[in-house]
Amino acid sequence: MSAGTDRKGANPLRMSNLRYVDAIPDIEAFYPLFMTTGWNERLGLTREALATALAGSFCGVCAYEGDALVAAGRLLSDGAYQCFLCDLIVHPDHQGRGIGKELVRRLLGHAKSLGLRWVQLTSARGKRGFYEKLGFEVTGGSLDENYLILANGETIIGLFTGMFEGAMLTFNPGLNNRMQQLDTFTDVRDIQRHLDDAGIEVAVALTAVNGRAGAPA
């Protein structure tokens, strides 16, 4: 019998109990988990900067193995209809157990209960199947254009892969949450022109990205 397995060949790690908590993780537990992703090699975030990021979260879900934080995810939101799912992390030693799927299910449940129907996230290429297993179906976009729109009932996900060099706030003027054209709407570029005419300085001007208005976040 190999080490680390019981008599039936099951891995004790995979048999242990997980505990899910609806909360934003504290920085002391989250920072080591965040460092397992390799993202900080590019981002270079200090512990203090990451703590500030966590403090700006709308809500979060954590998974614990005993007292150890093994996975977490969080939402950013305007509190009305838009939200962004970010920092979905499962420790490498605990991947393949369905933890990520459960985190997404819980976070989307929070979004739906609060009326947040438009969920955006960035993703590594090839993760489409992960969300399809959660009941989402592709309703728009193209892999060739590096984005997909997926829907599950009234919940909409925008799945973006490598579209922007940095973080980006995007707008879809003239579309409802089903990506249908509206007869009338207020374009965010009109709002910027109104601010300019009123002499109100905009710190970062809007730019066009693939026909859409956007501004660096």
CA angle 15, 16, 19 (to 5 degrees): 130
Using a cut of 0.75, tell me whether the model's pTM lies above it. Answer: no
pLDDT of residue 150: 75
Residue-level pLDDT at 194: 66
pLDDT score for 200? 62
Distance CA 143, CA 210 (A): 15
Residue 35: is it exposed, middle or buried by C-beta count within 10 angstroms (0-12/13-18/19+)?
middle
Segments of the chain scoring below 70 in pLDDT: 1-16, 122-128, 154-157, 161-182, 185-189, 191-192, 194-195, 198-217
**What local confidence, expressed as pLDDT, does residue 203 receive?**
53
- What ranges do the domains of the chain cover? 1-115, 123-163, 166-217
Pick the CATH number of 1-115 from 3.40.710.10, 1.10.730.10, 3.40.50.970, 3.40.630.30: 3.40.630.30
- Digit-coded pLDDT (tens) for 114-171: 888 777 776 555 666 777 777 777 777 777 777 777 777 766 667 776 655 443 344 4
Residue 114 confidence (pLDDT): 87
Residue 173 confidence (pLDDT): 54
